[in-house]
Amino acid sequence: MAVSAEGEGKTASAGARGVDLRAAGQAGEHYVTAVATGTRVKGAHKSANCKAIELRFDRRKNQRCAFTMAEILLSLTIIGVVAAITLPSLTGNINERTWNTQRKALYARFSQAIALMPAVNGYGNYSGTNTDGVVSVTEDTAAETFITEGLSKVLKINNICDADHLADCGIVSSYTNMAASVNALPTKLSELNSRFTIAWASGWENPHKDVDTAAAAFETANGESIVVYYNPYCTSDEPAGVRQYSQTKMCVNFIYDLNGNKGPNTVGKDIGFITALYPSDTVVVAPMPALRNVSEASPPTDGGRLCSQQDNENRMPNRDELAAMFYNKELIGIVDGAYWSSSADSPTQGWKVSFNAGDRFTMVRTYPDHIRCIKR
């Protein structure tokens, strides 16, 4: 039977497609064999079925690469060890930044409050007599009166405690100083620094040798606990050339605990001091001493460089900051000796403070001596 040209074309086309499909099927079989044996067949092409088979092989391969339970537990153990080593350091850094911020804020509040007071000396009644370095006190309301009638008028205070009830204001009975020594908290001036009641030193009589006032305490509205050591007879600054005792210049010294009786109760962390000097034109300082002397024998002209090498925030203390450090020498744990300040009386003369007796004086600035740096 005759077939038209158009029909022949369709038949030929269909036949060609049949041949193509058979060829594709053969190529697919070759590809499957290649995948299963890991060999390659030149000219082989992937069919849909071949791709599905390859995917199943890939899944099996992924399953063989999964972590075992032992590997997971080992990884978790390593993470735990690293965390145990790292977290305390991170927590300590956070605490120190928090304490530093609180310390600066407390210093700002106290500076503003004391500037508003009409006077910082003359509060309360005190009577005492020094016999061979021991003071017999017959009357003492000085520190507590300073708080109730003076400071409380310019600073928000929640609670006031006398020397016999310091713990009621969150005051701890002992603390750790910067030399890592645990000391009892002082309850009067002579316990803060025994040189307050020293009678003679370097041939000079201490004009305030009879002053040994008891401490008092209060709590601030922000939760800080403060111990107050008060000298109702503090005197004004004197010019260079006059040998003078630092003890007479201190009007009030505050020891603060930023978080009350919570730990760590360590100087340089949650415990520090603020000092007000001179009854008029009062200067308020709050130095934070470094843990150790930067030098035992250097001139003050090298002090700035040595302090910045110790810590880029460290500075040499000025004369009044150095006096405050002398008052709190037991709190710091600093050794006796003469210490240089950054204060100069002239291009060639600088101020020093003797931590042996408290006298302060000028000396040529090329002389080597102790230097203890501070942060402000």
Residue by residue, pLDDT tens for the chain (376 residues) are: 444 444 444 444 444 444 443 444 444 444 444 444 444 444 444 455 555 545 554 555 555 567 888 888 888 888 888 877 776 666 667 778 888 999 999 999 999 999 999 999 999 999 999 887 789 999 999 999 999 999 999 999 999 999 999 999 999 999 999 999 999 999 999 999 999 988 876 567 788 889 999 999 999 999 999 999 999 999 999 887 777 889 999 999 999 999 988 889 999 999 999 999 999 899 999 999 999 999 999 999 999 999 999 999 999 999 999 999 999 999 999 999 999 999 999 999 999 999 998 989 999 999 999 999 999 9
Do 321 and 238 sit in the same domain of this protein? Answer: no
Which structure tokens are listed for 263? 């730990």
Cα separation, 290 vs 108, whole angstroms: 21
Domain tally, the chain: 2
Q: What is the DSSP string of 294-326?
A: SEEEE-GGGHHHHHHHH-TT-B---HHHHHHHH
**Last residue within a domain, chosen from 230, 255, 285:** 285
Which structure tokens are listed for 155? 């600073």
Q: Domain span at residue 273?
A: 88-285
Asked whether the beta carbons of 207 and 182 are under 8 A apart, the reply is: no
Do 225 and 110 sit in the same domain of this protein? Answer: yes
224 lies in a domain? yes
CA angle 341, 241, 237 (to 5 degrees): 65
**Last residue within a domain, chosen from 285, 315, 349:** 285
Do 318 and 248 sit in the same domain of this protein? Answer: no
Do 224 and 327 sit in the same domain of this protein? Answer: no
Quote the pTM value: 0.76
Do 279 and 301 sit in the same domain of this protein? Answer: no
Which structure tokens are listed for 347? 């291009």
69 lies in a domain? no
Residue keyed to tokens 């291009």? 347
Cα separation, 313 vs 373, whole angstroms: 10
